[in-house]
């Protein structure tokens, strides 16, 4: 497996201190005495590029870790801190995550796909063109609220939009208090406003559709063309995939930024808490409905429908809430079945292990 060494720049002295502090905090979790701390920079086909304090190492997970793994989310993900043996490049353990941005993996099975872990902020990038879709942003927000990280909406390509402030106001009104910024990497406009979130020791994940400018934004932050970029198609304002796998970069100031491939599908993994956060206005109105099982259609005494008539809430917002509510409920049902399946696998492994010992 050939890796492009992605960490790029030398870590700053303060960032080295972060590595050392994390290693000291988790030293009791070392599997072997010669283990050292590292951070997963990228992963391709079961091989991991791990950034240590001074270098980058290609590594594989240990047989013990693979055996103890019950689900894909137990394996290392980009952004994870791990203990690994430099000799042979063996990852022995994954340290507890402070946050993780996940979605449902593509396919029929209810399986979690971790996009990025140990992140402080999620930058949701969407371009100010015909592809601007507030409902899509809301789906990203549900995943963000569940992740433990703070969402920031970044409207890109402001230089191509004639009514930037109007578009920004429309998005802000729909997203209820989420920070929204407009930037143009071509004109270097608006990016300074994001600097408070790009501090040393922070980790940012960039998410969004293809062609919204994630790779261009990364290149601007790095001060070099580390990421390949493509033009957006004029026919439908859609982008082309340039980033094909998740990658972590360290900026000169010590901030870590994770670039991710454009997402064609934003399938929810969890979302009950995120739903309550994102649609707090609707759920608060629902508490005042005459009937506790009100579905907010034509029931008498419905406070939600009353708010729609008074133009406090839009019908489209309510409909999007219903749609996401159904999807979250569906994923919860599938998740329950998955947990039962994992529990069966766990006991089967234990039974097999006891049988081997007895023999």
**Distance of CA 274 to CAs 102, 143, 145, 297, 326, Å?**
13, 7, 5, 23, 14
190 is in an annotated binding site: no
Give the CA count within 13 Å in the CB-facing half-sphere of 50.
31
Q: Which two tokens stand for residue 28?
A: 């009791």
93 is in an annotated binding site: no
Beta strand pairing call for 203-207 and 100-104: unpaired
* Burial of 235 from C-beta contacts in 10 A (0-12 / 13-18 / 19+): exposed
157 is in an annotated binding site: yes
220 is in an annotated binding site: no
238 is in an annotated binding site: no
Could you tell me if 211 and 238 are in contact, meaning their C-beta atoms sit under 8 angstroms apart? Answer: yes
Q: How far apart are CA 65 and CA 83, in angstroms?
A: 11
298 is in an annotated binding site: no
Q: Which two tokens stand for residue 183?
A: 């930037």
209 is in an annotated binding site: yes
Q: Which two tokens stand for residue 334?
A: 């599938």
102 is in an annotated binding site: no
Q: How far apart are CA 122 and CA 116, in angstroms?
A: 9
104 is in an annotated binding site: no
242 is in an annotated binding site: no
The single residue listed with the structure tokens 């406070």 is: 303
CA angle 123, 126, 131 (to 5 degrees): 160
294 is in an annotated binding site: yes
* Burial of 186 from C-beta contacts in 10 A (0-12 / 13-18 / 19+): middle
302 is in an annotated binding site: yes
Closest of 266, 238, 325 to residue 115, by C-alpha? 266
47 is in an annotated binding site: no
120 is in an annotated binding site: no
Q: How far apart are CA 122 and CA 114, in angstroms?
A: 13
Q: Name the binding residues for GTP.
A: 156-159, 208-216
Binding site residue list for Zn(2+): 289, 294, 296, 302
Give the annotated binding-site residues: 156-159, 208-216, 289, 294, 296, 302
């Amino acid at each position: 497996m050939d890796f492009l060494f992605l960490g790029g720049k030398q870590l700053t002295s303060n960032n080295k201190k972060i590595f050392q502090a994390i290693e000291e905090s988790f030293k009791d979790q070392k599997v072997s005495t010669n283990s050292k701390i590292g951070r997963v920079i990228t992963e391709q086909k079961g091989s991991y590029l791990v950034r240590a304090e001074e270098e980058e190492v290609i590594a594989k997970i240990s047989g013990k870790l693979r055996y103890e793994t019950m689900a894909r989310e137990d394996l290392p993900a980009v952004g994870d801190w791990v203990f690994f043996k430099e000799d042979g490049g063996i990852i022995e353990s994954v340290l507890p995550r402070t946050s993780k941005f996940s979605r449902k993996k593509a396919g029929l099975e209810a399986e979690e796909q971790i996009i990025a872990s140990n992140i402080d902020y999620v930058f949701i990038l969407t371009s100010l063109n015909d592809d601007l879709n507030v409902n899509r942003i809301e789906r990203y927000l549900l995943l963000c609220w569940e992740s433990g990280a703070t969402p920031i909406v970044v409207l890109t390509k402001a230089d191509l939009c004639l009514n930037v402030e109007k578009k920004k106001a429309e998005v802000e009104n729909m997203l209820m208090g989420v920070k929204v910024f407009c930037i143009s990497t071509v004109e270097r406009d608006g990016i300074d406003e994001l600097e408070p979130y790009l501090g040393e020791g922070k980790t940012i994940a960039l998410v969004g559709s293809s062609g919204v400018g994630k790779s261009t934004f990364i290149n601007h932050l790095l001060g070099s063309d580390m990421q390949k970029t493509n033009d957006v198609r004029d026919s439908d304002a859609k982008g082309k995939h340039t980033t094909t796998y998740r990658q972590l970069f360290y900026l000169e100031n010590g901030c870590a930024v994770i670039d991710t491939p454009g997402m064609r599908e934003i399938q929810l993994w969890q979302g009950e808490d995120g739903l309550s956060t994102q649609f707090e206005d609707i759920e608060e109105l629902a508490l005042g409905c005459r009937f506790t099982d009100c579905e907010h259609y034509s029931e008498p005494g419905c406070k939600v429908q009353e708010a729609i008539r008074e133009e406090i809430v839009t019908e489209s917002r309510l409909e999007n809430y219903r749609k996401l509510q159904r999807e979250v409920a569906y994923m919860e049902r599938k998740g329950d079945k998955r947990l039962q399946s994992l529990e069966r696998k766990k006991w089967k492994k234990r039974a097999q292990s006891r049988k081997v010992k007895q023999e």
